[in-house]
Chain A
Amino acid sequence: MTHYILKRFLLMFPTLFGVAVLIFLLLRVVPGDIVEVRFMAQGQYSSEAVMAIERAKLGLDKPLWQQFTTWMWGLLHLDFGVSMWTGAPITEELKLRFELSLQLAIMATVVATLLAIPLGILAAVKQDTWIDYAVRVFSIAGLAMPSFWLGILMILAMLIIFKWLPPMVFTSFWVNPWENLAQLIWPALAVGYRYSAVATRMMRSAMLEVLREDYIRTARAKGLWLKLILSRHALKNAMLPVITVIGLEFAFLMGGLVVTEQVFSLNGLGMLFVEAISHRDYTLTQALVLIVASVFIFVNFATDIAYAWLDPRIRYR
């Protein structure tokens, strides 16, 4: 078991390094660089000579390997450098946004899980009854409704019915939890509902599959009642594929909530991501990709551990 965890843990680092190399090269292959984008934005004509000076200021004239090692050296000291576009230190810029995105992702995942697991089990146990159909319609509706649209509906409803709007400025949970939750609970509900759909379907089908297993028949032949069969014999087995889905969704939520962030006017990572890429802000994009990739890789690691925890066949390998 320790061996298994250690192996998974150590595997994270080469993966992360691979991501770093890849994003570093990819950014530089994409046509246009930050200097061109900036001059274009200002509508100025600029000579090659001027652009070269600007590039030199940003260190873009150096050979690639040198740019890469400089970046890596900074990373080793947990320093992401400064944004090429604004010149502000990236670590400072990202701190609050990361906190917001992480918290939103966690809350939305909790909402999604709390919906998906009971609903999926219910639908499986009541397969092909009206309850099953109701659950399926509910979750498909979540998929069909974009969460920004649901978000707009929620905001309008609060405004019209309660004459109240959630706070606009992000307050850290550690500073003022009520203020913080009053702002984030709504996007978490909207996004969590949407993301519960896939997990619900997965829970339902995994549960149906497990309920057909021989060991469930054995449990019934022992005279156990349904609740005990579900909670003790079926749930752990059925959770395995669901955990994978929930983990992946969580990782997506960290960087992929562009429109929802706009609707709820949240300063998370999603919008920043879009801006950084359109500005060809190499340093900021690299930092963001690395953060999101780290979350993905870590979630993957956590999923592996959860698997081992649930399934002794993995634990004892």
Chain B
Amino acid sequence: MAKLLEVKNLQTQFLTSAGVVRAVDGVSYDVDEGETVALVGESGCGKSVSALSIMRLVAEPAGRIVGGEIVFKGRDLLKLSEEEMRDVRGRDIAMIFQEPMTSLNPVLTIGRQLTEGLEIHLGMGPAAASARAIELLGLVGIPDPARRLAQYPHQFSGGMRQRMMVAMALGCNPALILADEPTTALDVTIQAQVLELLQDLSRRLGVAMLIITHNLGVVARYADRVNVMYAGRIIERGTAAEIYADPRHPYTLGLLRSVPRLDEPIRAKLDPIEGQPPDLSRLPPGCAFAPRCAYRVERCTEVPPLAACGAAGHMSACWVSASLAKEPVA
């Protein structure tokens, strides 16, 4: 299938009083048309910044995209003018944010927030936009959508707001949806519902999706391919099956051991990774994960590992990845 999005060697930095924070440090990944790709990693490793970079919404002036390419449908988004970029946002690429409580405007009705994108991008009049908004709310499973249009976000529960965000994202039939931890703030039962909804709709409507999460367990069911991110870099990439059955990076292994898995009986003990992610303004010379790594060898702290590709594009950046093959996942 054709490549829809190709992120090549993306570098995004923040200038802070503590120095230059390399939030995204040479990241490459791609998304095919209609495919669901996951970006996984602990909190603070640069997942959100990488998604915001695609939308060119990194908080300026502190944040800057300093290098790389973001090729979407053959065009480098980083070379577009601000006006051209506005047409891409919401129209070709939509984004769903983590916090359903704060991501909707409290003083505007649900209807207003749903219709404005339709009016701007599709040139719909108020009546057509309202009709489409009702259709969208129905599509994401909100009961009595016509009445809901006149309501305000505070009258919606967290799960309903996130459904509303999904409706908003789908409004203009985008080719790609960036879902940044779309369910992290929700109750566990509702998390599953919203994820099912996202998966179902993206399959049905043929929308590609980049799903960002810190929970590798979540991804199992929903992603075709997985990118594991650590300290601003992709350290392992593969199909969901490869990542689950045969992780080739100690960090991925750690992530897998630290979350409950849906495909296995509940284990008595979860095993979180020891230590903290590094300070992104002062990265060590070698592998950024080395200080926390149980498989560390001398070379790890001195030379950054090369990305090595195994069979069929299963990539990992680790000096000892070969020896991990025998490790049990759980």
Contacts and interface: CB of A to CB of B under 8 A. Distances in A.
B116 interface: yes
B97 interface: yes
A3 interface: no
Contacts of B94: 221-222
A222 B107 contact: no
B60 to A, nearest CB: 11
A236 B152 CA distance: 14
Main secondary structure of the interface of A (DSSP, over half): helix
A30 B160 CA distance: 62
A223 B108 contact: no
Contacts of A221: 55, 57, 89-90, 94-95, 97
A218 B104 contact: yes
B86 A225 contact: yes
A232 interface: yes
A311 B95 contact: no
A290 interface: no
B103 A222 contact: no
Contact count band on A: 20 to 34
Given A221-B89, A313-B152, A233 B168 contact: no
Contacts, number: 77
Contact count band on B: 20 to 34
A282 B116 CA distance: 60
A222 B168 contact: yes
B182 to A, nearest CB: 13
B43 interface: no
Contact of A313 (B120, B121, B154): B154
Contacts of A214: 97, 99, 102-103
B139 interface: no
6 contacts: A214-B103, A218-B97, A222-B89, A232-B116, A237-B107, A316-B152
Interface of A: 213-215, 217-225, 228, 232-233, 236-237, 310-313, 316
Given A217-B97, A223-B91, 12 more contacts: A213-B102, A214-B102, A215-B102, A215-B103, A215-B106, A219-B105, A221-B89, A222-B90, A222-B168, A223-B117, A233-B108, A237-B107
